[in-house]
Amino acid sequence: MKYILVLIGVLTSASGQIMLKKSSGFQIWSRPWFLFILLSAFLYFLSFTLYYYILKIFPISKIYPIMTICVILLITNYGFLIGEHISIRQVVGLVLGIGSIYLILS
């Protein structure tokens, strides 16, 4: 159950950022912009609340880097899927991030 909380925390944090990105495609204060901003705020609130509980369960020195790298991986994949350019340096950074998760967990 505690690992599911981590997964949901990562997904809500990444989704909040994706909703912010989507809101940037609309005129400020338009209805779609406002809806994406509200959805993003809700997801960030949920993510923050989950993170509070996750920190009670796991040591911060392990869970913070893992969650951060997982969010970066999701956001970068989303960027790639919507057609953003991903450089070799970014790919190397992602691979190093994955390696760091391995080292933290071992």
With beta carbons less than 8 A apart as the criterion, state whether 62 and 101 touch.
no
pLDDT in the model for residue 65? 94
48 token code pair: 């923050």
53: Cβ contacts below 8 Å, ≥ 6 apart: 5
CA distances from 52 to 8, 13, 57, 82, 104 (A): 13, 13, 9, 31, 21
What tens digit of pLDDT does each residue of 9-22 get?
999 999 999 999 99
What is the chain's length?
106
What tens digit of pLDDT does each residue of 74-99 get?
999 999 999 999 999 999 999 999 99
What tens digit of pLDDT does each residue of 21-68 get?
999 999 999 999 999 999 999 999 999 999 999 999 999 999 999 999
